[in-house]
Amino acid sequence: MISVQELVRRYGAFTAVDGISFEVGRGEVVGFLGINGAGKTTTLRILTGYMPATSGTVRVAGFDLARQSLEARQRIGYLPEGVPLYRDLRLSEMLEFQGRLHGLDRARIARRVPEVLAEVGLGERARSLLGDFSKGMRQRAGLAVALLSEPEVLVLDEPTSGLDPLQRAEVRELVRKVGRERTVIFSSHILSEVEAVAERVIVLHRGRIAADGKPAELARTLGGASHVRCEAVVGADVEAALRLLRALPGALRVAHGGRLGIHHVFRIECAEDLREDVGALAAQRGWALRELSFQRPTLEQLFARIALELPQSAAGVEAPPASASANEEPTSGLVMLGASSAAPAARAAPAAPSAASAASASAAPAAPAEKPRVVYNLNPFDQGWKRDLGAPKAVEPPDSVPPS
């Protein structure tokens, strides 16, 4: 239904879409995923004929968009981001205008208007002014406009942008419903939405396709391995604990994620759930467990890895709660979250990196040298019984911050 070959779009020296190629079959629901500026909207605008490509070819329903633009556009229903509608028109008038734009005759318009209104759940509001509509209703009205001409391809740019969770669910359900009958391409940066609606995800990053496939498959193959997270008191010999964990059948890789107070954090990569094995080992060795959880890779991890341009192996690696040096020279938990937290966050790739951690990772190398900070050690186990908990302790910031 849609064939895109070597699509390039440049704005001066900036390349927004950089040689992407993909095919979308009839009846497929495809989600375009990517951070802001990844090239989603530009690609969709080219697909709808709004914007010409710098090079490459786009065919919609067999029509070359560059040479047979009108024929291709005739087969596309487009809901741009922001849902442009004439505020001075009533909903039925807007739909009639859309019908005339697409060359529908009166009888077909008269038949289609109540049909699409029923489909989007706005049958009661046909005579209402579009200017009076709430954002959610506008979104549904925009969808009705896009659906009126019974297009073979439906292109939706951020269809749930700016909606509250309830309205998002409504629109998501609508997209799912229309996706049963026609090809739907929609863009979003809300991962749950794409996972819930799309059969296939195309992840764009810096104008290129970073991943393309079914959401679950992508998460499994590219999002990183499944892992068991374990927080336990293992005593002083961490290496011995690591050796035991590595010896577990099915453990692919074991990483020590530092310390959280008296507990050590371990991340055991595995294909299957190893919680029972780890639990049994802990019971046998007398380790006090605080957390034992199994985590499967998610699309979110894949998205984060692509967005932050991390290697695949780093996709699921958690930020260690303490700096690497914490093992040799324990410091307090309060310091880790403050002055010296940038270093470990930058050194180890976060599992589900937030904007804040990304910012701290990128900002850390440029940060000026910090003065020693006075903190209170809240963890009596870190310093032993000799530590005077009431006295402040000066903590030196790290000398240098390693690159992320």
Partner 1 sequence: MRGPELLRGTAVIYRRELSGLFLQPVAWVLLALGLFLNGYAFPALLIATKGDADAAFLYAFRSGFGWISIVLPPLLTMRMISEEARSGMLEYLLTAPVKDGALVLGKVLAATTFMAVLWGGAFVLAAALAACGAAIDWPRLVLAWGGTVLASLVFCSAGLVASALAATPVVAAFLGMMLCAGIVLLPTFVDRLAFASRATRRALIERIDLAGQLEQTFLRGMFDSSTLVLLVSTSAVLLVLCTRRLEMQRWRS
In the list 25, 62, 84, 286, the residue contacting partner 1 (rule: CB under 8 A) is 84
Identity of the residue, 47 or 351, whose beta carbon is nearer to partner 1 in the bound complex = 47
Toward partner 1, which CB reaches closer, 9 or 229? 9
H-state helical runs in 255-369: 275-285, 299-307, 333-337, 342-347, 355-363
Would you call 25 helix, strand, or coil by DSSP?
Answer: coil
With contacts defined by CB under 8 A, name the span among 69-77, 182-190, 307-315, 379-387 that binds partner 1.
69-77
Residue among 52, 62, 365, 372 that touches partner 1 (CB under 8 A): 52
Burial 298-325 (b: 16+ CB within 10 A, else e): bbbbbbbbbbbebeeebbbbbbbbbbee
- 376 lines the binding site for partner 1 (CB under 8 A): no
Tokens of 200: 């296939």
Q: Are strands 393-395 and 2-11 parallel, antiparallel or unpaired?
A: unpaired
The nearer residue to partner 1, 79 or 339, going by C-beta atoms, is 79
The distance of closest approach from Cβ of residue 10 to partner 1 in the complex, given in angstroms and rounded to an integer, is 10
- Which strands form 200-205's sheet, in the order they lie side by side? 76-79, 153-157, 183-188, 29-33, 200-205, 208-213
Asked if 78 touches partner 1 (CB under 8 A), the answer is yes
Letters for 5-44 (x = contact with partner 1 by CB under 8 A, - = none) are ------x---------------------------------
With 0-12 CB in 10 A as exposed, 13-18 as middle and 19+ as buried, what is 142? buried
**Does 88 participate in binding partner 1 (rule CB under 8 A)?**
yes
The one segment of 101-109, 226-234, 258-266, 316-324 that binds partner 1 by CB under 8 A: 101-109
Does the protein bind partner 1 through residue 74 (CB under 8 A)? yes
Q: Token digits for 130?
A: 């579009």
Of 19, 28, 64, 97, the residue at the interface with partner 1 (CB under 8 A) is: 97
Q: How many residues bind partner 1 (CB under 8 A)?
A: 27
Pairing of strands 227-233, 76-79: unpaired
Residue 100 is a binding residue for partner 1 (CB under 8 A) = yes
Binding region for partner 1 (CB under 8 A) out of 85-93, 118-126, 230-238, 281-289: 85-93
Contacting range for partner 1; rule: CB under 8 A; set: 77-85, 169-177, 186-194, 226-234: 77-85
Contact letters (x/-) for partner 1, 103-122, by CB under 8 A? x-------------------
Of 5, 45, 22, 2, give the one whose Cα is nearest residue 212.
22
User: Residue 255 forms beta bridges with which residues?
Assistant: 267
Determine the Cα–Cα distance for residues 87 and 338; give it in Å rounded to an integer: 51
Compute the distance between CA of residue 401 and CA of residue 363 in angstroms, rounded to an integer: 10
Q: Are 342 and 361 in contact (CB under 8 A)?
A: yes
Q: Which is nearer to partner 1, 139 or 323 (CB)?
A: 139
Question: Using CB under 8 A as the criterion, which residues of the chain lie in contact with partner 1 when the complex forms?
Answer: 11, 45, 48-52, 70-71, 73-74, 76, 78, 80-86, 88, 97-98, 100-103
